[in-house]
Structure 1
Amino acid sequence: MPQIAQIADTYSSQIFWLLLTFGFVFFVIGLGMVPKVQGTADARDAKITGDLDAAKAAFARADEAEADYRVRDAQSRTAAQATLAKAKSETAKASEVQLAAADAEVSTKINAAEARIKAASDAALTQIETVAAEAARDMVARIAGVEASDEAARNAVKAALAHG
Structure 2
Amino acid sequence: MPQISQIAATYASQIFWLLATFGFVFIVIGLGMMPKIESTVEARDKRISDDLETAKAAHARADEIEEEYRARTNEDRAAAQKITQAAKDKGAKDAEKRLAKADGEIGEKIAAAEARIAEATAAAMTEIEAIAAEAALELVSKVSGTKASPAAATQAVKAALANG
Which residue identity is paired with 1:19?
L
After superposition, the CA RMSD in angstroms is: 1.5
1:37 CA displacement = 1.9
Does residue 1:44 correspond to 2:41, yes or no? no
Measured in 1, the distance between the counterparts of 2:46 and 2:18 equals: 39
1:40 CA displacement = 2.3
1:143 CA displacement = 2.0
Match for residue 54 of structure 2?
54
Alignment of 1:1-164 (within 5 A): 1-164=1-164
Instruction: Name whichever of 99-108 and 25-34 sits farther off.
Output: 25-34
Give me the TM-score of the superposition, normalised by structure 2.
0.92
Structure 1 SS opposite 2:31: helix
Measured in 2, the distance between the counterparts of 1:9 and 1:162 equals: 165
1:16 CA displacement = 2.0
Which residue identity is paired with 1:39?
S
Which residue identity is paired with 2:130?
T
Measured in 2, the distance between the counterparts of 1:142 and 1:14 equals: 175
Measured in 2, the distance between the counterparts of 1:149 and 1:31 equals: 156
Structure 1 SS opposite 2:82: helix
Measured in 1, the distance between the counterparts of 2:110 and 2:140 equals: 43
Measured in 2, the distance between the counterparts of 1:117 and 1:33 equals: 121
1:8 CA displacement = 2.7
| Number of equivalent positions | 164
Structure 1 segments, 4+ long, off by >4 Å, are none
Measured in 2, the distance between the counterparts of 1:145 and 1:33 equals: 158
1:54 CA displacement = 1.4
1:104 CA displacement = 0.6
Measured in 1, the distance between the counterparts of 2:115 and 2:160 equals: 26
1:31 CA displacement = 2.3
Measured in 2, the distance between the counterparts of 1:142 and 1:16 equals: 175
Which residue identity is paired with 1:143?
V
Instruction: Name whichever of 127-136 and 39-48 sits farther off.
Output: 39-48
Instruction: Name whichever of 56-65 and 1-10 sits farther off.
Output: 1-10
Which residue identity is paired with 2:144?
A
Instruction: Name whichever of 148-157 and 75-84 sits farther off.
Output: 148-157
Instruction: Name whichever of 78-87 and 143-152 sits farther off.
Output: 143-152
Measured in 2, the distance between the counterparts of 1:63 and 1:163 equals: 93
1:24 CA displacement = 1.1
Instruction: Name whichever of 32-41 and 75-84 sits farther off.
Output: 32-41
Could you list the per-position Cα deviations for residues 101-143 of structure 1 after superposition, in whole angstroms to 9, with x for gaps in the alignment? 1111111111111111111111111111011010011112222
